[in-house]
Chains A and B, each alone.
Chain A
Amino acid sequence: MSMDAVLFWFLSIVVIGAGLSVVLMSNPIYSALSLVMTMVGVAALFATLNAYFLAGVQLIVYTGAVMVLFVMVLMLFDLKRELQAFSRGKITGFFKIAGVGVLAGLLVGVITFTTQKTSLIAEGSPLAADIAAQAASGADNTKILSENLFLKNILGFELLGVLLLVIAIGVVALSRSKGGTHARD
């Protein structure tokens, strides 16, 4: 078994286990810590897919910024007394779990039955040779990504900046208004 395969199976076990514990832990602090573990695992998966820049961004944005935000809000609340972590109702709960199971089965079934080839590109084509050369270098990936981002998708990039500005102002306005969405006084 190659190193790639060992790494993939280890990371997938980590990611699935941590993801399950996000959902199953009744204490939200443990859920947040499991989510950090999931994010780190996903970042490592990006690294196995040669997306090194995205792995770094994933670590900085998710495990750095977003999770700090989550944990800070969790600490703001007094969450020792969580009476009911899961939704009540055995029958609706059964239907929910059954629906999720059916969705998982459908997705996995469709994926495994439709795409039999491991790569969507034919073996002998010139593109395949390019891919082999690219996989050998690996570090070029960031350069290709930045060229695509700043040459082809520059409008989307700028619009994201505008969106982030709007979101920042909106969040400040939302948290400064007295009583938030339910102004009483």
Chain B
Amino acid sequence: MLETSMFSEIGLNHYLVLSALLFTIGMAGILLRRNLIVVLMSIELMLNAVNISFVAFSKYNMNSEGQVMVFFVMTIAAAEAAVGLAIIVSIFKRFKEVNIRFFEHLKG
């Protein structure tokens, strides 16, 4: 009975677990990859995971604050992608490669 209801009835927990898994995948990408663009993509993945849990809480609590927060997070994510890509382009102009190890030389 427990098994069937777990698979056939979708609740808040399902969305939260999906969000947690997506978040950890993004975190693994940030830790493991060396390419700056892929690291930025992993950050987007983590932001999306958080958005899923915001919307799920918003639906199951019947409170639209969560969706407003998703709106804000999306705006910040777009701005963050723009700034990050600009920094990546300037690193590429200097070092001719987009590897995360060049962040060590960012000072001055």
Chain A positions within 8 Å of B, measured between CB atoms, are 1-2, 4-5, 8-9, 12, 15-16, 19-20, 22-23, 28, 31-32, 35, 38-39, 42, 45-46, 49-51, 53-54, 57-58, 61-62, 65-66, 69-70, 73-74, 76-77, 79, 82, 84-87, 93, 96-97, 99-101, 103-104, 107-108, 111-112, 115, 117-121, 127, 130-131, 134, 141, 144-145, 147-149, 152-153, 156, 160, 163-164, 167-168, 170-171, 174-175, 177, 179-182, 184
Contact = CB atoms under 8 A, between A and B. Distances in A.
Given A73-B88, A111-B17, A19 B10 contact: no
Determine the main DSSP class of B at the interface with A: helix
Contact of A1 (B7, B26, B33, B55): B7
B62 A121 contact: yes
Given A87-B32, A179-B94, A61 B24 contact: no
Determine the main DSSP class of A at the interface with B: helix
Interface in B61-94: 61-62, 64-65, 67-68, 70-72, 74-79, 81-83, 85-94
Interface of B: 7-18, 20-29, 31-35, 37-38, 40-42, 44-45, 48, 51-52, 55-56, 58-62, 64-65, 67-68, 70-72, 74-79, 81-83, 85-94, 98-99, 105-106
Contacts of A61: 74, 78
B72 to A, nearest CB: 6
17 contacts: A8-B14, A12-B14, A15-B22, A61-B78, A62-B44, A65-B78, A70-B37, A77-B98, A96-B32, A111-B16, A118-B13, A119-B11, A121-B60, A141-B64, A148-B67, A181-B91, A182-B105
A160 B75 contact: yes
B79 A163 contact: yes
B45 A69 contact: no
Contacts of A65: 78
